[in-house]
Chain A
Amino acid sequence: MKRSSLYLVVATLACAAAAAGLSLTGAGATFPYPMYSKWFSDYHKLHGDLEINYQSIGSGGGIKQVTEGTVDFGATDGPMNDTQLAEFKQKRGCDVLHFPTVMGAVVPTYNIPGVTGELNLTPEALAGIFLGKITKWNDAEIAKANPGVKLPGDDIVVVHRSDGSGTTYVWVDFLSKVSPEWKTKVGVGTSVNWPVGLGGKGNEGVSGQIKQTPNSIGYVELIYAVQNKLPYGKVRNASGAFIKAELASVTAAASGAAANMPADFRVSITNAPGKTAYPISSFTWLLIPSKIQDPAKQKAVKDFLQWMLGPGQKMAEPLSYAQLPTPVIAMELKAISKIQ
């Protein structure tokens, strides 16, 4: 026993040997975690002395930790608001820069006995369902967009996310844009006061609940729906077309918004213009402080961003993330120079 404890002590001390090379830590959104872990792993293979460690603790966590300075960079599915920007400036003494990395979408998924195809869902229908105004599946608002589909007269069971998340943020952002009643009654946030429905934890909580509950509807990330082969509906976009969420239609939503992209990249692209745009799409951002003291860290961050906007983008689609549109990439490459 004594000898084994000696070995244990020696082993632990050995682990205490200093790491060679540079190490960056980032934290934030869960949605892009698979993408980021691929990027940072591949980047490490290219630059063996640089380790970028990203952990998904939630967008709010990412914003908080980068503001507190406990991580080198953050990540979020919803852009920081002005209050948060001011707090960052006050605590860290410089600005925080948003860099869109990839795009994702949120899709409505459902379980209606007897309905196997894709439903066409209008924004009014979605808002009405989630407000608790539309209570039955054969309501006129849903039926008129789906001629030929036999909808039951049963009660709709709404399922939403219980944990605060960027997915919720994008979903309610869309609902706020298309429904004035939603905007005043519920509003936008990573967590909201849902008028109706059950709360599932995470994508798997929502999809699990929907699978087990007939006549239910909820929302999940596109990737999740694709990877788990969940049925999801088409949503009518601002141009009037019913669009199914696919990588192409998501990128189209960003292209539509690229024309009016603000310099700080903080933009919501839900309900974006464009005939083929999917209306419930979103960027996800990296949060980088504008001043990085350590020259090695600064160079590492800048180099990574350049790589991310080039070879990194090609890795997005196999993982079901949508690439950034070219004009946005060009804007970001210019913005990298803002990091001092």
Chain B
Amino acid sequence: MKPSSHWKNIVNFAMFGLTGLCALVSVGTLVFILGYLVFNGGKSLSMSFFTNLPAPVGEVGGGMANALLGSGKVLLLATLIGIPIGFLGGVYLSEYSGKTIAFVIRYVTDLLNGVPSIVIGIVVYTLVVHPMGHFSTFAGGVALGIMMIPISVRSTEEYLLAVPPSLREAAFALGAPKWKAIITVVIPAAMRGIISGTMLDLARVAGETAPLLFTALGNQFWSPGWNQPSATLPVMIFTYAIAPYEDWHRQAWAAGFVLLMLVLLINVTARMALSKGSYVPRG
């Protein structure tokens, strides 16, 4: 008994050390990236970054205020389009659908997820920008919204399926119809995971550049409403990073840092606001 439990302990310790190392590598990478962005872009992070419009080369005091707002608007529209479709689709897959339809929809969702972002941009250009006759924030939101769907579907479905059958059965035993059981018991039980999936989704599209190039294009000025081309953080980062000027490079790094902070902020706020009081079936 003793030698084998000793060996078990060694394995125990070693494996957890190994997995801890894995986690450390990932976290370390992120910290490194953040540090790099701050180190290289820190000089550009002043008040003017958040309040001013972009300035041409050689002029100081340029900022990315319009890109911040533009990103906010585009992401808002993307969330309003992508999350409802994704969430409800995920509910359908996990609660209502038969095996064959579920297989097909899952496969199709994975296909959609694999479409390169630039191709989504090209398609939305053909379907939205071209008929409208001009680039717009709206088109950008549509493109990013489509990109949000697959992750939302898959994560919603996974977390709903992970809810133990005993919870559903308890609800039915109390006389709830299926839809009521889903809304009042199953979804709240999975809510924590669903929010996590949504935030991951949002994070992913927040950094996408290629689809916006063909839909929202970009703008040096403010873009009122939803019908005009609009500046967004990722496109600004892209434009500035590939330019020859050191000053613009710094702004690109700074913008990268701001983008990450924006996503972090949305993440923290959403989790605090939405997951209060939800049941967490902690194992």
Binding site for B on A (CB under 8 A): 1, 8, 12, 15-19, 23, 25, 27, 30, 33-34, 37-38, 40-42, 44, 51, 53-57, 68-71, 202-204, 221, 223-224, 226-228, 318-319
Q: How far is the CA of A44 from the CA of B219 in the complex (A)?
A: 13
> Given A37-B220, A53-B229, A55-B218 in contact, is the A204-B135 Cβ separation under 8 Å?
no
> From residue B224, how far is it (CB to closest CB) to chain A in Å?
5
Partner of A40, one of B57, B218, B220, B242: B220
Q: Which residue on A lies nearest to B218, using beta carbons?
A: A55
Q: Are B239 and A56 in contact (CB under 8 A)?
A: yes
Q: Are A15 and B73 in contact (CB under 8 A)?
A: yes
> From residue A63, how far is it (CB to closest CB) to chain B in Å?
15
Q: How far is the CA of A74 from the CA of B241 in the complex (A)?
A: 22
The 7 closest A-B pairs by CB, nearest first: A38-B56, A227-B244, A55-B218, A16-B225, A224-B244, A202-B242, A37-B56
Q: How far is the CA of A40 from the CA of B220 in the complex (A)?
A: 9
Determine, out of B16-24, B29-37, B126-134, B173-181, the stretch whose residues face the partner at the interface.
B126-134
Q: Which residue on A lies nearest to B246, using beta carbons?
A: A227
Interface residue count for B (Cβ, 8 Å)?
36
Q: Are B245 and A227 in contact (CB under 8 A)?
A: yes
Quick one: CB contact mask for B46-62 with A, threshold 8 Å, 1 for yes? 00000000111111000
Q: Are A34 and B217 in contact (CB under 8 A)?
A: no
Q: Are A16 and B217 in contact (CB under 8 A)?
A: no
Q: Are B224 and A18 in contact (CB under 8 A)?
A: yes
> Is B104 among interface residues, defined by CB-CB distance under 8 A?
no
Q: Which residue on A lies nearest to B57, using beta carbons?
A: A34
Q: Interface of chain B, helix or strand or loop or mixed?
A: loop
Q: Provide the residues of chain B in CB contact with A18, threshold 8 Å.
A: 224-225
Q: Provide the residues of chain B in CB contact with A318, threshold 8 Å.
A: 58
Q: Which residue on A lies nearest to B239, using beta carbons?
A: A56
> From residue B137, how far is it (CB to closest CB) to chain A in Å?
9
Report the number of A-B residue pairs with Cβ-Cβ less than 8 Å: 92
Q: Are B73 and A25 in contact (CB under 8 A)?
A: no
> Is B243 among interface residues, defined by CB-CB distance under 8 A?
yes
Binding site for A on B (CB under 8 A): 54-59, 69, 73, 76, 129-130, 133-135, 213-214, 217-222, 224-226, 228-229, 239, 241-246, 273-274
Q: Are A19 and B244 in contact (CB under 8 A)?
A: no
Q: Are B135 and A25 in contact (CB under 8 A)?
A: yes
Partner of B133, one of A8, A69, A221: A69
Q: Are A70 and B135 in contact (CB under 8 A)?
A: yes
Q: Are B244 and A221 in contact (CB under 8 A)?
A: yes
Partner of A16, one of B57, B219, B224: B224
> Given A15-B224, A34-B245, A202-B242 in contact, is the A70-B57 Cβ separation under 8 Å?
no
Q: Are A34 and B56 in contact (CB under 8 A)?
A: yes
Q: Provide the residues of chain B in CB contact with A1, threshold 8 Å.
A: 273-274
Q: Provide the residues of chain B in CB contact with A227, threshold 8 Å.
A: 244-246
Among B130, B220, B222: residue with most chain A CB under 10 A: B220
> From residue B80, how far is it (CB to closest CB) to chain A in Å?
11
Q: How far is the CA of A61 from the CA of B54 in the complex (A)?
A: 23
> From residue A9, how far is it (CB to closest CB) to chain B in Å?
10
Q: How far is the CA of A19 from the CA of B246 in the complex (A)?
A: 33
Q: Would you give 23 A-B contacts (Cβ < 8 Å), ordered by A?
A: A1-B273, A1-B274, A12-B76, A15-B224, A16-B224, A16-B226, A18-B224, A25-B134, A30-B242, A34-B57, A38-B57, A41-B220, A53-B219, A53-B221, A55-B218, A55-B239, A70-B134, A70-B135, A71-B134, A203-B242, A203-B244, A227-B245, A227-B246
Q: Which residue on B lies nearest to A41, using beta carbons?
A: B56
Q: Which residue on A lies nearest to B54, using beta carbons?
A: A37
> From residue B202, how far is it (CB to closest CB) to chain A in Å?
15
